[in-house]
Every structure is written in structure tokens, then in C-alpha cells.
Amino acid sequence: MKRTLLAVVVLLSLCHSIAWAHWMPREEMYVGGVGAGCTLEYVTSIYGEPQEKRWFNTAGVRGVTYIYSDAFSITGRTGKDDLRQEEELLVVGFSLKDNSLATPNGLTVGMPYETVSAMFGSVDKHTIGGRTFYSYGAPNSAVELTFYVNDKGIITEIYEGTEF
């Protein structure tokens, strides 16, 4: 009986969390026309060859991060045993640390986080390793868009990541 009651409480807590979560439309989770799900071939068709490529092959995944500048990088990856060629790898994330690119709604580095919360609602503030951020999930997707902010609430980095 206690175990069943505990299971019900946990389930209700999860439902409550989901009901109050703020989501961002998946189509908003791009910068400069690229984001999770694009191929690296598509990325190079827009931005050309990167300044540097950093390969990795660990923990069951392999991939590459395209470094376009100190402020902009894009990562593509796949399963360790997947034989896809580099250009066929799917983008699983990016990091943008300047205002050279924006999301489709115009969100970019240098804006106040309040602009994001006015469009998509406020989410919980988190601080890890001295960095403060706000993360938005996409409905029915593993994609998250994270806004890192400074102590004045100004966006210093937009980061996209996935778990697929």
C-alpha cells in the first residue's frame, strides 16, 4: 500500500512538473539557419569549411565539432558503429557566444534574458560551475536551448544540445 501511494505521489509530481514546464517551439531552436537535425553538409553549404575540426570517439558516440570562430561552433555526431560519412552526420548542438547570429525570432547574445522570458515564459534559473543559465525544451524532442547569462541578466551564450 505504501509503495502504491509513493508511486502515485511521484507520478503526480511528474505530471505537475510537465504541466508547468515552458517549452519553446522546435523551429525557434536554430541560429543562422542551423540547428539540431541539419546535416553537416548543410552547415558547410551555409558557412563553408570550418577553421578547425575537433573529432571525438568515446562512450558509444563519434562525431566532430566544427569551430567557425572563438564564438561559434557546431557539433555533429552519431553512434560509434554508425558508418555515416562526416557530411552525413546530424547536428546535435551549437554554441554561440557573440551577436553575429540570431534565432528566427531575433534572440541573440547581448540581449537581456527578460526578452526570452517575455516570448516563451520564465523557466527556473540554474547555476553550475559559477555559470547561470535558463533552459527550454522542445515538445516531443530531446533538444534544449540554453541561455547563459551574466550577473546583470544579459545573455552571454546561446547553447543547443540534445540527448540523441
Q: Can you spell out the DSSP letters for 108-137?
A: -TTSBHHHHHHHH-----EEETTEEEEEEE
Per-residue pLDDT, 162: 81
Of 18-27, 38-47, 92-101, the one with minimum mean pLDDT is 18-27
Per-residue pLDDT, 163: 62
Order of all β-strands in the sheet with 144-149: 52-58, 61-69, 72-79, 90-96, 155-161, 144-149, 131-137, 126-128
Residues 149 and 146: their CA atoms lie apart, in Å, by 10
90 pLDDT above the threshold of 90: yes
Per-residue pLDDT, 140: 85
Average pLDDT of the chain, as a whole number: 87
And the C-alpha cell for 100?
553575429
**Over residues 111-127, mean pLDDT:** 94
Between 141 and 51, name the one with better pLDDT. 51
Per-residue pLDDT, 6: 36
**Over residues 43-56, mean pLDDT:** 97
Q: What percent of the chain has pLDDT over 90?
A: 76
